[in-house]
């Protein structure tokens, strides 16, 4: 085996949901750098591609759009469920908002896995679900977000067990505080940003590409005997 071949994704097709920016876009670039043919999804139409990646429109809360997306693929080797929603300022405690986030994040992720299962089974592919450290610790201002991510983590384990005999691996990556547009307001609060950095063992925030590295590993031949697990990439925050 040549040097680096254990991470070689040449000839593999990958789909990254929520890939227009942030962690999703970093994942798309990292998978492509290792040889994968990558497509991304976004909720908005009007663009055919983002930074060279074909863009397909998809809404996690709309089962029909998920199925239409799957029907448009001839095959798939790597499914990265990165897309998700949250509502800030404690508003997820309102029952309708709680339902909305659970429906999009948890139910939407399962529907993606279900819709693409035939493609993944045919190619003995893999699923990588992007969860959050909030899957493991409390989320006082985002009860639905935290619950949905914990649910996705349990779903990942269950799919790994149930679909393993079909050759499908299912794993997760749990990012900690990472510099993205989603948390720009926190980054701009100097005191809050410093407190978060100081709470991590590495004394800093993460960068999107550092999360992407864990996804590349789980999608690659290097992780061929790894399923039903989660890599926590939080700079030692939970430690």
Domain extents in the chain: 5-233
Question: CA torsion angle for 93, 95, 101, 107 (degrees, to 10)?
Answer: 140
Quote the pLDDT of residue 125. Answer: 98
- Per residue in 130-180, pLDDT tens? 999 999 999 898 999 999 999 999 999 999 999 999 999 999 999 999 998
Helical (H) or strand (E) element with 15: strand 13-16
Is 93 part of the annotated catalytic residue set?
no
Q: Given the residues 93, 110, 145, 217, select the one marked as catalytic.
A: 145
Answer whether 152's CB lies under 8 Å from 104's CB: no
Parts of the chain with a pLDDT under 50: 1
Question: What top-level class would CATH report for the domain 5-233?
Answer: alpha beta
Place of tokens 């509502």: 87
What pTM was estimated for this model as a whole?
Answer: 0.95
Which residue shows structure tokens 């493991």? 136
pLDDT given at position 3: 56
């Amino acid at each position: 085996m040549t040097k680096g071949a254990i991470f070689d994704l040449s000839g593999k097709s990958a789909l990254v949901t929520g890939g227009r920016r942030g962690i999703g876009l970093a994942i798309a670039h990292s998978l492509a750098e290792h040889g994968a043919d990558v497509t991304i999804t976004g909720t908005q139409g009007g663009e055919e591609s983002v930074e060279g990646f074909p863009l397909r429109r998809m809404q996690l809360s709309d089962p029909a759009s998920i199925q239409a997306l799957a029907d448009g693929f001839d095959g798939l080797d790597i499914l990265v469920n990165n897309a998700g929603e949250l509502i800030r300022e404690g508003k997820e405690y309102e029952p309708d908002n709680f339902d909305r986030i659970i429906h999009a994040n948890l139910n939407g992720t399962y529907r993606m896995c279900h819709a693409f299962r035939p493609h993944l089974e045919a190619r003995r592919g893999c699923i990588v679900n992007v969860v959050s450290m909030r899957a493991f610790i409390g989320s006082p201002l985002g009860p639905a977000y935290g619950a949905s991510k914990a649910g996705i983590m349990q779903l990942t384990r269950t799919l790994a067990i149930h679909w393993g005999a079909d050759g499908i691996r299912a794993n997760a990556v749990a990012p900690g505080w990472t510099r993205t547009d989603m948390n720009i307001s926190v980054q701009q609060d100097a005191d809050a940003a410093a407190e978060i950095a100081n709470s991590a063992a590495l004394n800093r925030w993460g960068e999107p590409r550092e999360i992407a590295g864990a996804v590349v590993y789980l999608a690659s031949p290097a992780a061929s005997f790894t399923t039903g697990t989660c890599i926590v990439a939080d700079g030692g925050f939970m430690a």
